[in-house]
Structure 1
Amino acid sequence: MRPPHITTLALSSLCLLAACGGGGGGGGSQSARPSADIQFPPQASLTDANTIAVRGTVKKPGKVAELLVAGVPAVSPDSWKTWSANVPLALGSNELKVEMRNVEGNLIGDDESVSVERQDVVLGNCTGLAMGDPGDGNAWWVDADRSRLIEIDLASGARTATTIIQGPFEFSTGIETPGDPVFDGSRNRLYVPDKGRIHAVSVDTGVRTEFCSQMGFNTILNIDYDLGADYLISLERTGFPFFDTEVYRVNTDTGARQQLVAYNSQAGEGIPASRISLSADLGFATLASSSEIHMLVLQDGTMASFGAVPLTAIRDVIYSQADGWISILDGEEGLSRFGWWNQTFEALHPLDEMPSSLTLSVGNAQGEYFATDDALDAVYHIDMASGAANVIARSAMGSGPSLERMTAETEFRGERLAVDESRNCVYSIASDGTRAEFAKDGLIASPRTLLALGDTLYVGCSQGGRVVQLDPNGNQSLLTDGVADLANLRDLASGPDGDKLVALCSSQMVEIDISSGFTRTICAAGDGMGPDFRNAEQVNVHPELRVAYVTSAGAYGSDEGQVHMVILDSGFRVLLAGEDPDLGSFGAGVAVSRPRGLAFQEGTSSLLVAAGEAGGGAMSLYSLDLTSLVRMEMSSATLGQGPLLDVPGSLEREASTGNLFMTGTTEGAQLVIDPISGDRVIASR
Structure 2
Amino acid sequence: MTDANTIAVRGTVESPGKVAHLMVRGVPAATTDGWKTWSATVPLVLGSNELEVLMLDAAGDFIGDDESVSVERQDVVLGNCTGLAMGAAFSEEAYWLDADHKRVIHIDLLTGARWALDIQEPVVGQWLPSLTNPGEPVYDSFRGRMYVPDGGFIHTINVWTGALTTFPGRGLGETVLDIDYLESSQGDPADDMLVALESRAVFNGLGSDQLLEIVKVDLTTGDSEVLRTWNRTVAPGKGIDATRISLEHDGNYVDVASTDAVWWLELSTGKQGAFDKVTLSDISDISRSMEAGWISILDRSAGIFDVDINNSKMTKLYSFDDADSPLSSGFTLSPGRNEFEYIVTDEVQDAVYSVETDIDTVSLIASSAMGSGPSLAFMWDETEFQGLHLASDVRDCIYSIASDGTRTEFAKGEHLIVPTGMVALGDTLYVGCGMGGRVVMVDPNGNQSLWVDQDPDLMELMDLALAPGGGKLIALTQPGSLIEIDISTGFTQVIARTGDGMGPDFVGAVNLAVTELANQDQVAFVSSKADGSDEGLILAVHIDDGPDGMGFRYIIAGEDGFGGSMGAGAPILSPRGLSFEEDTTSLLVSAAKPGAGTMSFYRLDLLTLQRTELGWANPGQGPLPDQTVSLRREAATGNLHMTAFLEGALYVVDPISGDRVIASR
Separation in structure 1 between the aligned mates of residue 531 and residue 514 of structure 2, nearest angstrom: 27
How far has the Cα of 1:550 moved from its partner?
2.5
Instruction: Give the C-alpha shift of residue 344 in structure 1.
Output: 1.7
Identify the residue that residue 201 of structure 2 maps to in structure 1.
239
Alignment of 1:133-152 (within 5 A): 133-152=88-107
Letter in 1 for 2:525: V
Counterparts of 1:548 and 1:326 in 2: how far apart (Å)? 61
**Aligned-residue CA RMSD (Å):** 1.9
SS of equivalent residue, structure 2 residue 384: strand
Deviation at 1:319, TM superposition (A): 1.2
Report the Cα distance in structure 2 between the residues aligned to 1:655 and 1:616, rounded to whole angstroms. Answer: 31
Identity %: 52
Corresponding residue for residue 31 of structure 1: none
2:160 alignment counterpart = 204
Q: Distance in 1 between matches of 2:531 and 2:98?
A: 24
AA partner of residue 196 (structure 2): S
One-letter amino acid of the counterpart of residue 427, structure 2: D
One-letter amino acid of the counterpart of residue 663, structure 1? T
Q: Distance in 2 between matches of 1:239 and 1:673?
A: 46
Which residues of 2 match residues 387-406 of structure 1 at below 5 A? 387-406=360-379
Kept after mapping to 2: 8 A contact 1:550/1:564: yes
Amino acid at match of 2:553: R
CA contact (8 A) 1:635 1:679 kept: no
The change in CA–CA distance for 1:583 and 1:155 in structure 2 (over 3 A counts) is closer
Match of 2:446 among 470, 474, 480: 474
Query: Gaps spanning 5+ residues in structure 1: where?
Result: 1-45
- Tell me whether 344-353 or 187-196 shows the greater mean CA deviation: 344-353
Distance 1:520 1:168 in 2: 49
Give the superposition deviation at 1:543.
4.0
Do residues 333 (structure 1) and 302 (structure 2) align?
Answer: yes
Q: 1:513 to 1:669 in 2, by over 3 A?
A: same
Write the deviation string for residues 373-393 of structure 1: whole angstroms up to 9, x where unpaired: 000000000011221111100
- Whether the 8 Å contact between 2:423 and 2:465 is mirrored in structure 1 is yes
Q: How many residues align?
A: 638
- Inter-partner Cα distance in structure 2 for 1:584 and 1:47: 36
* 1:177 CA drift (Å): 0.6
Instruction: Give the AA of the match of 2:633.
Output: R
The corresponding residue for 2:188 is none
**Conserved? CA contact 1:578–1:586, under 8 Å:** no
Q: Paired residue for 1:607, among 587, 608, 611?
A: 587
| Offset of residue 637 of structure 1 | 2.7
Q: Please give the alpha-carbon distance, in whole angstroms, between the structure 2 residues aligned to 1:326 and 1:681.
A: 42
Query: Residues of 1 paired with 2:352 and 2:622: CA distance?
Result: 22
Deviation of 1:480 after TM superposition, in Å, equals 0.8
Once the 2 structures are TM-superposed, how far is the Cα of residue 167 of structure 1 from its aligned partner? 5.1
Residue 589 of structure 1: how far off its partner (Å)? 2.4
- Identify if the C-alpha distance between structure 1 residues 345 and 564 changes in structure 2 by more than 3 Å, giving closer, same or farther: same
Query: What is the deviation of 1:504?
Result: 1.3
Q: 2:21 aligns with which of 52, 66, 74?
A: 66
Are the structure 2 counterparts of residues 308 and 69 from structure 1 closer, same or farther at C-alpha, using a change threshold of 3 Å? same
The amino acid that maps onto 1:454 is G
Aligned mates of 1:106, 1:141 — CA distance in 2: 50
Measured in 1, the distance between the counterparts of 2:123 and 2:589 equals 35
Q: How big is each residue's C-alpha offset from its partner over 1:404-447, in whole Å with a ceiling of 9 and x where there is no partner? A: 111111110111111111x2111111111111111111111121
Q: 1:318 to 1:516 in 2, by over 3 A?
A: same
Match of 2:535 among 537, 556, 560: 560
Q: Tell me whether 1:214 sits opposite 2:177 in the alignment.
A: no
Query: Helix, strand or coil: the match of 1:243?
Result: strand
Aligned: 1:254 with 2:221: yes
**1:665 aligned to which of 622, 625, 645:** 645
TM-score by length of 1: 0.90
**Which is bigger in relative contact order (C-alpha 8 A, separation at least 6)?**
1
Q: How does 1:218-229 map to 2 (within 5 A)?
A: 218-228=174-184, 229=191
Q: Is the 8 A contact 2:554 2:564 kept in 1?
A: no
Deviates more, 1:181-190 or 1:161-170: 161-170
Residue of structure 1 in register with 2:187 after alignment = none
Distance 1:361 1:556 in 2: 44
Equivalence for 1:55:
10
Q: Which runs of 5+ in 2 are unaligned?
A: 185-190, 203-207, 545-549
For structure 1, which segment, 151-160 or 168-177, has the greater mean C-alpha deviation from structure 2 after superposition?
168-177
Asked if the contact 2:378–2:648 (Cα under 8 Å) also holds between the matched residues in 1, the reply is: yes
Instruction: Supply the AA of the counterpart residue of 1:293.
Output: V
Query: Structure 2: which amino acid aligns with 1:653?
Result: R
Q: CA deviation at 1:163?
A: 0.4
Instruction: For residue 242 of structure 1, give the secondary structure of its aligned residue in structure 2.
Output: strand
Deviation readout 1:559-601 (Å, 9 max, x if unpaired): 4211111221122112111169x98775432221111111101
Q: 1:583 to 1:264 in 2, by over 3 A?
A: same
Q: Deviations over 1:154-185 (max 9, x none)?
A: 00000010000135796523211111000011
Counterpart contact for 2:23–2:55, Cα < 8 Å: yes
AA at the equivalent of 2:524 = Y
TM-score (norm 2): 0.93
- Give the Cα–Cα distance (whole angstroms) in 2 for the partners of residues 52 and 658 of structure 1: 17
Contact 1:534-1:552 within 8 A present in 2 as well: no
